[in-house]
């Protein structure tokens, strides 16, 4: 308490110092006078009296000094002094300060931006959702597969009932939908959710209500919807009487029961949801009919909030035992099926999973950029510290301890990095929506991948700022610690270009810069090559000359029968268009976000191992599918119009499936059981890619769409014409058939493949941009070191010239020194790269982490850049005027 | 000669100042210094300069209060006086000092064996 009071007084003592100093001076004055009076009375002469009084008082200055220290807080006072002085030094050389702050802004800004993306996309992806730290994703697993699958609704309900370590479980399944108000229809995105959704995530509608218990029960029983704030403001102009009004979703009238708060965008990384409907309305939105009572229909994406203090492992154990029980109770649907938890940042069914590897790499890349920026600023400070040697020497000579000097230099470093951090946060704020821009644009609803700058990001950035301070401030500080007073008094004689000593520190820093940027160059090269391989890899079907589009008949309320006849008629009309070679419908198009149908199969003569349930994916395709897609048949025939409801059931298998289940026998004419029905294999198709370019060959088969009809399907057209041409023609034909219909955008299959490789694209762009930045910083560093070396050794250069060295000799001297530095950096960088590029892991595709081409091109780029950086200093060296250099 | 005299060390100086103010009433810095010297029988030499930071510290801690006034021989001087908190502090310090010296005395007493 007493101490606190004293501190308060001392803090106050920091201000109005002059008055207090004056007061103390007069107190001391009185003291002396009183003492002198006494001494005079004791019989001393005036001079003696004064002398005696002064001696007894001790050193007046020392007393004043220690009085002042007691009065204020010397530590804060000297810090303020250092700050003031630091700012003055920065103002005195604005060019240096700007360059240093710019470097740090870029370095810290890149870090802060990546932190904010990681926070906003991986760790706290759902604005307004409470306790995201306890949220985990739940999905199903099948034996032998690493990826997560959806769950079925009955499995979810069982899980909800028996998980004691979970606070809540909820479903949130993203769905693209047609929203119609009056006669205006548009594509939008929403979620099918369990009734507990809004309570579970702690979001309360600002108008109306969330869903009530029981609203997710019963087939099509509760056509209610909660709409987003954005939709409310946009489409309904913020109508305060909105609750109770209706809108059509996929053609079904839904009553609006609530409006979600502003800023709440649902629970899907990548897109903002515009509406939410209870799971009872599933059939309206999902292709494939009513699934709430089908344990074999796996379609939902769900999340769990764990109870406080429960670890992921504990919950996983409990959930695994539930899954075991389900396996035993429902062997038909659940044999060899597990249920798994994933931390939010590994969520398998949204863009968190796809962006995770990229963001991980980015974390390392921005750390590199920061190090390079620090090396640059450290170098700049070092140069300045030579210029300030005189000042440091004087400070030491008049009694500043090395600690005090260190503090001064660190304070200057802190000012620089704090300004850099402020600029960096600004950069991060400015870049928070930049990720979306890197994804290929597509028509319809815009992607949403926001960065989030919260206190955790701020704290991390502050941490980075402090580390930067140490890195940047310590270099000159170490140098300052080496000043010896006697040595510094001697005149500074000009050094030599290859001089040792203090230039070694600077060269070391440049070496680090060059090697780090080399690593980034190699990384960028490898990623670029992978992207190219992915883009040019043959997916097993034609990507050029084939267009893809769709007509949404589900939303338009078509029955299966009407849909079929319209689709038949449309195919005929499309085929008749000039320039169209063939056209076909298929339920799924390769590399799209949707999921293929999947079935347990049985094959005559194939006895599966006891633990295995042969499960294979398939696609429902129309006649001409293989011709249109350019997938060759190796045996048998394709589907024809004759393979319809009345004909015998037929299937076409791919090569891998034929090899796996028929083991060298000819599968044609054999039988395969699909969803309980036996089909005859009539053809074998070549393998192709189905969901990702990077997948390995897997068993897959095709069935005739007419024999397995579902309304939703994509239209594939083989034609040399451009998508735009076909789009106009197609719109006219569709409109002629039904005035209320309009086709989706028309894209080439190449575009479809490109979209599916966007994570690679994002990685390449980001690493490329940052690699370029790093290269620029390193070039500045190299240039700085070389031109400083030249400016410090004009005398030597002049001497060489006077002794007969030509301009080209001097130029070669400087250039070779720069190139030696570069070569050292490249060697170091190559060694580091060999160790690090493995970490690119599955971002690489058919490229070895030690790919010589990537290393070679990095070497070439690095050499060119360093030649450019050294050229100007070398040219200046060559123009040294020997007479002047020797005279000065 | 000063070499015979013992320097006053920091902690005890505060107690001496407080005690002086208790017996003498309000006093200026010079007066306090002289009084301490006299009381110690000129065995202690106060370097007068060190007195002022000590006084300031006591004031910051609230044990003494200061006020400008006029000395006996008509000079404007800053007078220090003991506050209530200072009185309590002095009692506490005196008690602790007694205890400490008593313990030390027992250790240093000649011939007495500890049992």
pLDDT digits over A842-859, tens only?
A: 778 888 888 888 899 999
For residues A150-154, give the mean pLDDT.
90
Residue A124 has pLDDT above 50, yes or no: yes
Residues in B closer than 8 angstroms to A70, CB to CB, are 53, 56-57, 60
Residue B2 has pLDDT above 60, yes or no: no
Instruction: Indicate the range of A55-59, A413-417, A544-548, A576-580 predicted with least confidence.
Output: A55-59
Beta bridge partners of A166: A306
For residues B64-80, give the mean pLDDT.
85
pLDDT of residue A859: 92
Is A584:A625 a contact under the CB 8 Å cutoff?
yes
Q: Where are the beta strands (DSSP E) in A572-722?
A: 582-586, 597-603, 615-621, 633-636, 650-654, 671-674, 677-685, 700-704, 714-718
For residue B52, give the nearest of A9, A34, A67 by CB distance. Answer: A67
Instruction: Indicate the range of A53-67, A257-271, A292-306, A809-823 predicted with least confidence.
Output: A53-67
Residues in B closer than 8 angstroms to A52, CB to CB, are none
Residues in A closer than 8 angstroms to B52, CB to CB, are 24, 27-28, 63, 67
For residues A274-289, give the mean pLDDT.
84
For residue A31, give the nearest of B30, B61, B73 by CB distance. Answer: B30
The tokens for A633 are: 């048949």
Placement of tokens 């403001």 in the chain: A233
pLDDT tens column, A322-362: 999 998 898 888 888 889 899 988 888 887 877 888 888 88
The tokens for A506 are: 């600077």
Residues in A closer than 8 angstroms to B71, CB to CB, are 30, 34
Is A205:A260 a contact under the CB 8 Å cutoff?
yes
Is A720:A580 a contact under the CB 8 Å cutoff?
no
From CA A617, how far away is CA A595, in angstroms rounded?
9
pLDDT of residue A685: 94
For residues A215-234, give the mean pLDDT.
90
Residue A239 has pLDDT above 80, yes or no: yes
pLDDT of residue A810: 85
Q: How does residue A185 score in pLDDT terms, banded at 50, 70 and 90? A: low
* pLDDT greater at residue A753 or residue A628: A628
Candidates A523, A575, A490, A591; CA nearest to A830 is A523
With CB atoms and an 8 Å threshold, state whether B53 touches A24: no
From CA A777, how far away is CA B63, in angstroms rounded?
61
Q: How does residue A875 score in pLDDT terms, banded at 50, 70 and 90? A: confident
With CB atoms and an 8 Å threshold, state whether A33 touches B75: yes
Q: Nearest CA of chain A to the CA of B41: how many Å?
A: 17
pLDDT of residue A72: 67
**Beta carbons within 8 Å of A447's beta carbon, 6+ residues apart:** A270, A271, A436, A439
Residue A22 has pLDDT above 90, yes or no: no
First to last CA, chain B: 44
Query: Do strands A275-278 and A224-227 pair parallel, antiparallel, or not at all (unpaired)?
Result: antiparallel
Question: What are the residue ranges spanned by the domains of chain A?
Answer: 2-72, 74-128+354-492, 144-335, 494-539+761-888, 546-756
With CB atoms and an 8 Å threshold, state whether B53 touches A57: no
Residues in A closer than 8 angstroms to B60, CB to CB, are 5-6, 9-10, 70
* pLDDT greater at residue A699 or residue A790: A699
* pLDDT greater at residue A600 or residue A647: A647
Residue B95 has pLDDT above 50, yes or no: yes
As a residue count, chain A comes to 888
Domains for chain B: give ranges and CATH numbers: 2-108 (1.10.10.10)
- Of all residues in chain A, what percent carry a pLDDT higher than 70? 92
For residues B26-42, give the mean pLDDT.
83
Q: How does residue A878 score in pLDDT terms, banded at 50, 70 and 90? A: confident
Q: How does residue B1 score in pLDDT terms, banded at 50, 70 and 90? A: very low
For residues A852-868, give the mean pLDDT.
90
pLDDT of residue A499: 45
pLDDT tens column, A424-464: 999 888 888 887 777 766 655 567 777 888 888 888 888 88
pLDDT of residue A141: 85
Placement of tokens 């290393």 in the chain: A855
For residues A760-764, give the mean pLDDT.
80
A293–chain B Cβ distance below 8 A for any pair = no
From CA A587, how far away is CA A566, in angstroms rounded?
15
From CA A670, how far away is CA A681, in angstroms rounded?
6
From CA B21, how far away is CA B28, in angstroms rounded?
10
Is A433:A451 a contact under the CB 8 Å cutoff?
yes
* pLDDT greater at residue A342 or residue A506: A342
Residues in A closer than 8 angstroms to B34, CB to CB, are 38
Q: How does residue A860 score in pLDDT terms, banded at 50, 70 and 90? A: very high
Is A171:A311 a contact under the CB 8 Å cutoff?
no
The tokens for A493 are: 């004689």
* pLDDT greater at residue A701 or residue A12: A701
* pLDDT greater at residue A249 or residue A289: A249
From CA A19, how far away is CA A25, in angstroms rounded?
10
pLDDT of residue A17: 65
Q: How does residue B3 score in pLDDT terms, banded at 50, 70 and 90? A: very low
Residues in A closer than 8 angstroms to B53, CB to CB, are 63, 66-67, 69-70
pLDDT of residue B35: 86
Is B53:B16 a contact under the CB 8 Å cutoff?
no
Residue A645 has pLDDT above 90, yes or no: no
A 10 A CB-CB count for A775 gives: 23
Is A122:A356 a contact under the CB 8 Å cutoff?
yes
Q: Mean pLDDT over all residues of chain A?
A: 84
Tell me A311's DSSP state.
-
pLDDT of residue A505: 76
With CB atoms and an 8 Å threshold, state whether B77 touches A59: no
Candidates A119, A127, A432; CA nearest to A267 is A127
Q: Mean pLDDT over all residues of chain B?
A: 79
Residue A631 has pLDDT above 90, yes or no: yes
**For A37, which residue in chain B has the nearest alpha carbon?**
B73
Environment class of A287 (CB within 10 Å of its CB; exposed 0-12, middle 13-18, buried 19+):
middle
pLDDT of residue A144: 60
pLDDT of residue A484: 55
Tell me if residue A209 falls in helix, strand or coil: coil
In Å, how far from its chain's centre is CA A298? 30
Residues 796-835 of A with CB under 8 A from B: none
Claim: this prediction has a pTM higher than 0.95: no
What is the helix (H) or strand (E) element at residue A766, kind and residue range? helix A758-792
A 10 A CB-CB count for A747 gives: 18
Residue A729 has pLDDT above 70, yes or no: yes
pLDDT of residue B111: 59
Tell me if residue A304 falls in helix, strand or coil: strand
Candidates A766, A771, A111; CA nearest to A424 is A111
For residues A120-139, give the mean pLDDT.
88
pLDDT of residue A155: 92
Residues in B closer than 8 angstroms to A56, CB to CB, are 47-48
**Beta carbons within 8 Å of A886's beta carbon, 6+ residues apart:** A795, A798, A799, A802
* pLDDT greater at residue B6 or residue A234: A234
Candidates B66, B65, B64, B67; CA nearest to B89 is B64
Q: How does residue A650 score in pLDDT terms, banded at 50, 70 and 90? A: very high
Q: How does residue A786 score in pLDDT terms, banded at 50, 70 and 90? A: confident
Q: How does residue A888 score in pLDDT terms, banded at 50, 70 and 90? A: low
From CA A244, how far away is CA A530, in angstroms rounded?
53
* pLDDT greater at residue A324 or residue A390: A324
pLDDT of residue A497: 47
Residue A618 has pLDDT above 50, yes or no: yes
With CB atoms and an 8 Å threshold, state whether A34 touches B28: yes
The tokens for A319 are: 């959930």
pLDDT of residue A479: 66
From CA B35, how far away is CA A412, in angstroms rounded?
50
- Of all residues in chain A, what percent carry a pLDDT higher than 90? 21
pLDDT tens column, A71-109: 666 777 778 888 888 888 888 888 888 888 888 898 888
pLDDT of residue A493: 43
For residue A63, give the nearest of B52, B75, B76 by CB distance. Answer: B52
Residues 1-40 of B with CB under 8 A from A: 28-31, 34
Q: Where are the beta strands (DSSP E) in A182-301?
A: 184-193, 207-208, 224-227, 246-249, 252-259, 275-278, 298-300
B71–chain A Cβ distance below 8 A for any pair = yes
pLDDT of residue A785: 78
In Å, how far from its chain's centre is CA A3? 50
Q: How does residue A823 score in pLDDT terms, banded at 50, 70 and 90? A: very high
pLDDT of residue A278: 94
pLDDT tens column, A291-310: 888 888 888 889 999 999 99
Candidates A620, A610, A681, A626; CA nearest to A649 is A681
A17–chain B Cβ distance below 8 A for any pair = no
Tell me A388's DSSP state.
T
Q: Nearest CA of chain B to the CA of A80: how many Å?
A: 23
First to last CA, chain A: 66
* pLDDT greater at residue B49 or residue B81: B81
From CA A218, how far away is CA A225, in angstroms rounded?
16
DSSP per-residue letters across A550-616: EB-TTTTT--HHHHHHHHHHHHHHHHHSTT--EEEEES--TT-SS--EEEEEEETT----TT---EE
């Amino acid at each position: 308490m007493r101490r606190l009071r004293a501190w308060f007084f001392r803090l106050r003592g920091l201000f109005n110092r002059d008055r207090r100093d004056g007061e103390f001076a007069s107190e001391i004055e009185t003291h002396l006078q009183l003492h002198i009076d006494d001494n005079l009375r004791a019989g001393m002469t005036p001079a003696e009296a004064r002398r005696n009084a002064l001696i007894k008082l001790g050193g007046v200055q020392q007393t004043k000094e220690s009085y002042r220290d007691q009065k204020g807080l010397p530590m804060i006072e000297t810090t303020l002094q250092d700050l003031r002085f630091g700012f003055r030094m920065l103002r005195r050389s604005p060019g240096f300060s700007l360059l240093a702050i710019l470097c740090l802004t870029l370095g810290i800004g890149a870090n802060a931006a990546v932190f904010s993306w990681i926070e906003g996309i991986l760790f706290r992806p759902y604005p307004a959702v409470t306790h995201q730290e306890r949220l985990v994703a739940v999905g199903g697993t099948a034996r032998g597969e690493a990826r997560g699958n959806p769950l079925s609704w009955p499995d979810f309900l069982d899980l909800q009932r028996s998980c004691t370590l979970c606070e809540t479980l909820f479903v949130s399944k993203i769905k693209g939908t047609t929203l119609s108000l009056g006669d205006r229809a548009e594509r939008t995105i929403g979620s099918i959710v369990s009734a507990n959704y809004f309570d579970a995530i702690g979001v309360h509608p600002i108008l109306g209500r969330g869903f009530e218990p029981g609203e997710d029960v019963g087939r099509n029983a509760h056509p209610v919807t909660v709409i987003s704030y954005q939709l409310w403001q946009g489409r309904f102009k913020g109508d305060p009487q909105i609750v109770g009004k209706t809108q059509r979703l996929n053609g079904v009238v839904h009553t609006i029961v609530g409006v979600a708060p502003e800023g709440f965008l649902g629970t899907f990384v990548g897109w903002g949801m515009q509406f939410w409907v209870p799971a009872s309305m599933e059939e309206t939105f999902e292709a494939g009919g009513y699934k709430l009572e089908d344990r074999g229909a796996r379609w939902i994406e769900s999340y769990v909030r764990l109870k406080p203090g429960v670890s992921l492992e504990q919950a996983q154990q409990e959930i695994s035992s539930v899954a075991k029980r389900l396996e035993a109770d429902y062997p038909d649907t659940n044999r060899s099926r597990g249920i798994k938890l994933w931390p939010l940042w590994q969520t398998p069914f949204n863009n968190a999973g796809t962006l995770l590897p990229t963001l991980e790499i980015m974390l390392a890349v921005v750390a590199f950029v920061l190090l390079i920026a620090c090396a640059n600023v450290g170098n700049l400070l070092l140069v300045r510290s030579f210029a300030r040697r005189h000042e440091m020497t004087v400070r030491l000579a008049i009694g500043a301890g090395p600690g005090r000097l260190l503090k001064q230099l660190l304070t200057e470093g802190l000012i620089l990095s704090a300004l850099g951090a402020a600029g960096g946060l600004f950069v991060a704020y400015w870049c928070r929506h930049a990720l979306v821009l890197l994804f290929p644009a597509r028509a319809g609803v815009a992607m949403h991948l926001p960065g989030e700058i919260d206190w955790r990001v701020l704290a991390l950035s502050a941490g980075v700022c402090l580390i930067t301070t140490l890195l940047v401030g310590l270099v000159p500080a170490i140098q300052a610690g080496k000043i010896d007073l006697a040595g510094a008094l001697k005149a500074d004689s000009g050094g030599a270009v290859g001089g040792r000593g203090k230039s070694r520190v600077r060269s070391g820093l440049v070496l680090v810069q060059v090697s780090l940027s080399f690593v980034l160059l190699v990384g960028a090269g490898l990623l670029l090559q992978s992207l190219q391989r992915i883009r040019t890899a043959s997916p097993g079907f034609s990507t050029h000359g084939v267009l893809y589009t769709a007509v949404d008949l589900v939303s338009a309320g078509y029955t299966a029968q009407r849909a079929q006849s319209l689709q038949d008629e449309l195919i005929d009309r499309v085929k008749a268009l000039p320039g169209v070679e063939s056209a076909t419908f298929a339920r799924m198009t390769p590399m799209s976000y949707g999921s293929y149908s999947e079935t347990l199969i049985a094959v005559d003569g194939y006895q599966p191992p006891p633990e295995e349930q042969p499960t294979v994916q398939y696609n429902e395709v129309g006649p001409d599918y293989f011709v249109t897609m350019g997938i060759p048949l190796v045996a048998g025939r394709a589907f024809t119009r004759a393979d319809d409801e009345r004909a015998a059931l037929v299937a076409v298998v791919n090569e891998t499936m034929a090899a796996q289940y028929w083991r060298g026998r000819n599968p044609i004419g054999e039988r395969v059981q699909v969803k309980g029905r036996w089909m005859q294999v009539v053809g074998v198709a070549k393998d192709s890619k189905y969901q990702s370019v990077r997948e390995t060959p897997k068993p897959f088969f095709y069935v005739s769409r007419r024999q397995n009809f579902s309304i939703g399907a994509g239209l594939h057209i083989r034609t040399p014409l451009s998508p735009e041409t076909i789009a106009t023609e197609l719109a006219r034909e569709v409109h002629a058939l039904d005035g209320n219909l309009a086709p989706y955008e028309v894209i080439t299959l190449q575009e479809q493949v490109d979209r599916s490789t966007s994570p690679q694209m994002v990685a390449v762009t980001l690493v490329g941009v940052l690699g370029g930045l790093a290269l620029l910083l390193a070039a500045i560093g190299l240039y700085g070191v070389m031109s400083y070396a030249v400016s410090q050794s004009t005398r030597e250069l002049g001497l060489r010239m006077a002794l007969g060295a030509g301009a080209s000799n001097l130029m070669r001297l400087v250039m070779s020194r720069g190139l030696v530095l570069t070569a050292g950096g490249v060697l170091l960088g190559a060694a580091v790269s060999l160790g690090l590029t493995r970490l690119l892991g599955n971002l690489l595709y058919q490229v070895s982490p030690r790919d010589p081409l990537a290393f070679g091109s990095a070497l070439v780029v690095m050499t060119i850049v360093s030649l450019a950086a050294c050229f100007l200093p070398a040219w200046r060296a060559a123009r040294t005027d020997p007479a002047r250099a020797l005279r000065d | 000669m000063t070499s015979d005299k013992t320097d006053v060390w920091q902690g005890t100086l505060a107690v001496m100042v407080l005690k002086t103010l208790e017996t003498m009433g309000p006093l200026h810095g010079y007066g306090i210094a002289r009084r301490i010297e006299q009381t110690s029988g000129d065995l202690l030499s106060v370097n007068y300069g060190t007195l002022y930071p000590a006084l300031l510290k006591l004031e910051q801690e609230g044990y003494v209060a200061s006020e400008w006034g006029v000395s006996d021989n008509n000079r404007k001087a800053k007078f220090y006086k003991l506050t209530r908190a200072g009185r309590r502090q002095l009692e506490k310090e005196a008690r602790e000092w007694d205890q400490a010296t008593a313990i030390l005395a027992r250790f240093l007493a000649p011939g007495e064996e500890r049992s």
